[in-house]
Structure 1
Amino acid sequence: MTSSSAGPQPYEVARVTSQAAELLEVLWGRASTAPVSASQLRVLFILEHNEGINLRTLADALGSTPPSTSRLCDRLQAVGFVERRPGATSRRELRLYLSRRGSVFLDDLRARRERALQSVLEQMPAARRTQLLQGLVAFCAAAAEEIHDEDGTVADARPA
Structure 2
Amino acid sequence: MIVSVFRPRPEPAEVARVTATAAELLEVLWGRASTAPASASQLRVLHILEHHEGITLGALADSLASTPPSTSRLCDRLQAAGFVERATRPDDRREVQLRLSGRGRAFLADLRERREREVRSVLALMSAAERGALLTGLEAFCAAATARTHGDVREVDGRTA
- TM-score bracket for the superposition, by shorter chain length: 0.7 to 0.9
How far does the alpha carbon of each residue in 1:89-127 deviate from its partner, in whole angstroms, 9 at most, with x for none?
Answer: 201110111111101100000000000011100000100
Which blocks of at least 5 consecutive residues in structure 1 are unaligned?
151-160
The DSSP-based 3-state class of the residue aligned with 2:93 is coil
Which of 99, 107, 113 is matched with 2:115 structurally? 113
> Who is 1:138 aligned against?
140
Q: Equivalents in 2 of 1:16, 1:57: separation in Å?
A: 34
CA shift for structure 1 position 82 = 0.7
Q: Equivalents in 2 of 1:143, 1:76: separation in Å?
A: 29
> Who is 1:158 aligned against?
none
The DSSP-based 3-state class of the residue aligned with 1:96 is strand
The DSSP-based 3-state class of the residue aligned with 2:79 is helix
Q: Equivalents in 1 of 2:142, 2:46: separation in Å?
A: 19
How many residue pairs end up in the alignment? Answer: 146
How far does the alpha carbon of each residue in 1:117-143 deviate from its partner, in whole angstroms, 9 at most, with x for none?
Answer: 111000001001011111112212222
Which of 59, 66, 72 is matched with 2:61 structurally? 59
More off after superposition, 136-145 vs 51-60: 136-145
> Who is 2:93 aligned against?
91
The DSSP-based 3-state class of the residue aligned with 2:105 is helix
> Who is 1:154 aligned against?
none
Distance 1:145 1:99, change over 3 A: farther
Q: Equivalents in 2 of 1:12, 1:65: separation in Å?
A: 37
> Who is 1:30 aligned against?
32
The DSSP-based 3-state class of the residue aligned with 1:8 is coil
Q: Could you list the structure 1 runs, at least 4 aligned residues long, displaced by more than 4 angstroms after superposition.
A: none
- When the two chains are superposed, the root-mean-square deviation of aligned CA atoms in Å is 1.5
Distance 1:27 1:39, change over 3 A: same
Opposite residue 17 of structure 1, the aligned amino acid is: T
More off after superposition, 139-148 vs 101-110: 139-148
Q: Equivalents in 2 of 1:115, 1:59: separation in Å?
A: 32
Opposite residue 37 of structure 1, the aligned amino acid is: S
Determine if the alignment matches structure 1 residue 148 to structure 2 residue 147.
no
State the TM-score, normalized to the length of structure 2: 0.86
Identity, % of aligned positions: 68
Q: Equivalents in 2 of 1:148, 1:45: separation in Å?
A: 17
How far does the alpha carbon of each residue in 1:40-83 deviate from its partner, in whole angstroms, 9 at most, with x for none?
Answer: 00000011011111111111111211111111111000011111
The DSSP-based 3-state class of the residue aligned with 1:35 is coil
Q: Equivalents in 2 of 1:80, 1:11: separation in Å?
A: 43
